């Protein structure tokens, strides 16, 4: 993929403050949290990922703003813009989580907690790498939905369908988050739920890409 750096920086500019805040919060949380990190048992982490994903989409999808219309009137192809929107999204997520990954995997966090005389460490340290993969997986599920939603709601023929899909998604998401299903459900239920969620995200991601080509700007 050919990256147009001026375009990337232009788009990422709107995420820079959010990324700085989210990165600081996530790093501090990962370093200081005194229980072993387990993503779906940790409400704070789940809320953080949902909020971060939502704010990324909100900031990138201000379709009615003058700056959005300006960017989209500059002659870039919609494909190029879409790729750079995702690149900026990915950068914000990685800038937030790479420092956390460094803390968990090096394992600075474990040493710090051990130094703080936390009895869980270093015993639980190896299990914490799942925290990273699950949080990133959760981003992967949420971001296509949120990006789809801002595009869908800006279409001239917008209707209730997108809202319904989003509600379904949230519902699925809510179920997904219930530890009961995740930890005590059957393998079939878990797998079905997981595949269903992935499928919805993938379909909405593709729809988002398709609709973005037809996004009206400056209406």
Partner 1 sequence: MTESNIVMETIDLTRDFGGKVVLEDVSLTVGPGEILALLGPNGVGKSTLLKLISGMLMPSRGEARLWGESSWPPSAEMYRVACVLDGMSPPYGTRVSEIMSLKSCVSHRFDWKLATSLCEQHQISTASRWQTLSKGQKRWTLLVAALASGADLLVLDEPADGLDVATRRELYGLLREQSNDRGVTSIVASHIIADVERVADDVVILANGRVRLHSPLEQLRDEVFEVELPIETDHSVITPMAEVIFSRRANDALIAVIRFRSLHLAEQEFPGEISRHRVSLEDLYLAYRQPQQPPAQAEQQGLANERSH
Residues that bind partner 1 (CB under 8 A): 4-7, 9-10, 13-14, 66-67, 69-79, 156, 213-214, 216-219
At a CB cut-off of 8 Å and minimum separation 6, what does 120 contact? 34, 35, 36, 113
Angle (deg, nearest 10), helices 5-12 and 78-105: 70
Distance in Å, CB of 152 to partner 1, minimum: 15
Distance in Å, CB of 216 to partner 1, minimum: 5
Q: 144, 177, 179, 148: which is closest to 161 by C-alpha?
A: 148
Query: Which CB sits closer to partner 1, 79 or 179?
Result: 79
Query: Which CB sits closer to partner 1, 66 or 187?
Result: 66
Q: What is the largest CA-CA distance in the chain?
A: 60
Distance in Å, CB of 68 to partner 1, minimum: 9
148, 58 Cβ separation under 8 angstroms: no
Token pair listed for 76: 């870039």
Query: Which CB sits closer to partner 1, 30 or 211?
Result: 211
Other C-beta atoms lying within 10 Å of the C-beta of residue 33: 17
Helix H or strand E segment including 143: helix 129-152
Distance in Å, CB of 87 to partner 1, minimum: 14
DSSP 42-87: -HHHHHHHHHHHHHHHHHHT-TTSHHHHHHHTS---HHHHHHHHHH
Distance in Å, CB of 127 to partner 1, minimum: 44
């Amino acid at each position: 993929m050919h990256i147009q750096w001026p375009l990337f920086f232009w788009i990422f500019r709107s995420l820079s403050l959010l990324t700085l805040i989210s990165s600081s919060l996530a790093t501090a949380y990962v370093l200081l949290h005194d229980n072993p990190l387990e993503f779906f048992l940790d409400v704070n982490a789940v809320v953080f990922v949902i909020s971060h994903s939502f704010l990324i989409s909100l900031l990138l999808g201000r379709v009615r703003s003058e700056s959005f219309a300006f960017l989209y009137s500059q002659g870039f192809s919609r494909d190029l813009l879409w790729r750079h929107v995702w690149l900026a999204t990915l950068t914000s997520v990685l800038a937030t989580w790479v420092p956390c990954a460094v803390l968990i995997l090096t394992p600075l966090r474990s040493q710090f907690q051990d130094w703080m005389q936390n009895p869980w460490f270093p015993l639980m340290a190896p299990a914490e790498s799942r925290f990273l993969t699950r949080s990133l997986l959760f981003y992967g599920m949420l971001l296509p939905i949120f990006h789809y939603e801002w595009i869908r709601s800006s279409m001239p023929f917008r209707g209730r369908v997108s809202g319904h899909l989003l509600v379904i998604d949230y519902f699925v998401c809510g179920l997904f988050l219930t530890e009961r299903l995740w930890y005590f459900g059957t393998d079939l239920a878990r797998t079905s739920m997981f595949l269903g969620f992935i499928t919805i995200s993938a379909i909405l991601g593709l729809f988002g890409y398709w609709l973005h080509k037809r996004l009206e700007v400056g209406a």
